Amino acid sequence: MEKHASKRRIGLMGGTFDPIHFGHLVTAEEARVQFSLERVIFIPNRHPPLKDPREVTDPEHRYLMTVLATVGNPYFTVSRIEIDRPGPSYTIDTLRAFLQIYPDADLFFITGADALLQILRGMWHGARELLQMCQFIAASRPGYILDREQLERNNLTGNDLRNVHAMTIPALAISSTDIRERVRQGRPIKYLVPEPVEDYIFKHGLYRPKAAGEGEGG
Intra-chain end-to-end CA distance of the chain, in Å: 51
Scan residues 21-40 and list those touching ligand ATP (CB under 6 A).
Answer: 23-24, 27
Please tell me whether residue 18 binds ligand ATP under the rule CB under 6 A.
yes
Cα 56 to Cα 49, 51, 144, 180, 182: the distances in Å are 11, 8, 24, 11, 16
How many residues belong to the site for ligand ATP (CB under 6 A)? 18
User: Which of 16, 89, 94, 155 touches ligand ATP (CB under 6 A)?
Assistant: 16
Binding to ligand ATP by CB under 6 A, coded x per residue (else -) over 84-123, reads: ---------------------------xx-xx--------
Give the residue with the Cβ less far from ligand ATP, 23 or 59: 23
Distance CA 134, CA 99 (A): 9
User: Which of 69, 172, 192, 201 touches ligand ATP (CB under 6 A)?
Assistant: 172
Distance CA 175, CA 114 (A): 12
CA angle, corner 175, sides to 26 and 163, nearest 5? Answer: 55
Distance CA 193, CA 211 (A): 25
Residue numbers of the site for ligand ATP (CB under 6 A)? 15-18, 23-24, 27, 111-112, 114-115, 139, 141, 172, 174-177
